[in-house]
């Protein structure tokens, strides 16, 4: 029996890891296999239109993106807008790049006016890469990548565009080719709805060309090793997780069966409904402008007399509901509702009802049913028929 057993099902609403669909769980319930047999390369080949490398974690994907395209001392313009962009910046600095940090207040998006100024003044092209987190999970802020690409093109700048799409890819509109993204990365435990343990990196031809002259030290994350085995046809220089590979196939099957556009629209509904509930409760979104609202996570600001960590503790201890803590600068000030992955509208309504009871528990004068009613009214007018059941 689980040490922390609670009756019924745990309601998992952190912004990753997310709920695992039953077909994914079943697909991973298999024995190990020889990854050099014909079966595993055949399975891997199915993914190559989608990914260029598969690694161990999202953090490893960060390192892969940086060390394969850049050399120590290269100048990077990067944006600090929350905890996860901060962690990537820390990695960039420890890898000995010249890191030019553009900092914004937490709850705001990347300051693209400053980016424009830096690009316009960089006539000698000292900026080698622009690193940006598409969706900052700590604050629920989504950056506008199309505008970033527009600025790079406006100044005819050759800098690479490296994007952390960990909590956006397969949930929020993401157009690698159209937006000229050179390296995009994500993690298995977010919108793909897999267990933690697989980072996925997609590299453009420009990024692959840059990797030929990049002088950063890399071993396990060296793209050349992967590319060499791609050409051989076995694909894997090191032993992959067989179970995660089969799980990935099942997860992608589910996404394509629903239709990626429908998946993105569903996440938009979930995000909008959550924001309507927060408004009905009389609370504020940590994200300061509508243009930055995230469709995968909402960070809810609590009154000063409430410790948001107590909301998260009580959710788990009394209601078997898992919510996200406030991190770093917003610790104790916000709690986070994750609404991404294999998740539907009725599941979210259950979460919102739990949050209302918890707010009441900690002394906030919420009207029970107010947020649920606002979200349900929105859903009732927007939920489409399930495509496979029409």
Do 378 and 352 meet the contact criterion of CB atoms below 8 Å apart?
no
Please choose, from the candidates 128, 95, 92, 91, the residue with its C-alpha nearest in 3D space to the C-alpha of residue 213: 128
Could you tell me the sign of the dihedral formed by the alpha carbons of 232, 237, 241, 244, in that order?
negative
Buried b (16+ CB within 10 A) or exposed e, 20-32: bbebbeebbeeee
On the 0-12 / 13-18 / 19+ scale of CB atoms within 10 A, 105 is exposed
On the 0-12 / 13-18 / 19+ scale of CB atoms within 10 A, 161 is buried
Consult the annotation and say whether 336 binds a ligand: yes
Radius of gyration of the chain from Cα atoms?
A: 21
Could you list the residues known to form a binding site for substrate, using ranges. Answer: 336
Could you list the residues known to form a binding site, using ranges. Answer: 336
């Amino acid at each position: 029996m689980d040490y922390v057993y609670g009756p019924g099902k745990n309601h998992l609403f952190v912004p990753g890891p997310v709920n695992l669909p039953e077909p994914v769980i079943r697909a991973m319930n298999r024995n190990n296999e020889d990854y050099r047999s014909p079966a595993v390369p055949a399975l891997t080949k199915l993914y190559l239109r989608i990914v260029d490398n598969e690694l161990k974690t999202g953090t490893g994907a960060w390192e892969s993106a940086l060390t394969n395209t850049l050399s120590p001392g290269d100048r990077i313009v990067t944006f600090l807008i929350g905890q996860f962009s901060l962690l990537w910046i820390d990695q960039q600095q420890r890898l000995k790049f010249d890191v030019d940090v553009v900092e914004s207040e937490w709850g705001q998006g990347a300051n693209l006016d400053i980016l424009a100024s830096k690009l316009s003044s960089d006539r000698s092209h000292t900026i080698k890469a622009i690193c940006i987190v598409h969706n900052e999970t700590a604050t629920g802020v989504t950056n506008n990548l199309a505008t970033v690409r527009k600025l790079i093109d406006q100044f005819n700048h050759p800098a690479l565009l490296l994007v952390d799409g960990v909590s956006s890819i397969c949930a929020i509109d993401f157009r690698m080719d159209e937006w000229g993204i050179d390296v995009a990365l994500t993690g298995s435990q977010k919108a793909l709805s897999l267990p933690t343990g697989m980072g996925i990196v997609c590299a453009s031809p420009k990024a692959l060309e840059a990797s030929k002259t990049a002088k950063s030290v890399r071993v396990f994350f060296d793209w050349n090793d992967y590319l060499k085995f791609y050409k051989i046809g076995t694909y894997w220089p090191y032993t992959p997780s067989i179970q995660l590979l089969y799980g990935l196939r099942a997860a992608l099957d589910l996404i394509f069966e629903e239709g990626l556009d429908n998946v993105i629209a569903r996440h938009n509904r979930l995000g909008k409904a959550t924001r309507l509930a927060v408004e009905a409760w009389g609370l504020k979104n940590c994200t300061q402008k509508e243009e930055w609202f995230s469709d995968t996570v909402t960070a809810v600001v609590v009154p000063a007399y409430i410790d948001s960590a107590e909301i998260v503790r009580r959710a788990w201890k009394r209601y078997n509901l898992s919510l996200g803590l406030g991190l770093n600068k917003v610790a104790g000030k916000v709690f986070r509702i994750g609404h991404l992955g294999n998740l539907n509208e009725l599941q979210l309504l259950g979460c919102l009802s739990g949050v209302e009871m918890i707010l009441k528990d900690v002394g906030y004068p919420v009207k029970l049913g107010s947020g649920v009613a606002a979200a349900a009214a929105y859903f009732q007018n927007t939920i489409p028929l399930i495509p496979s059941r029409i």
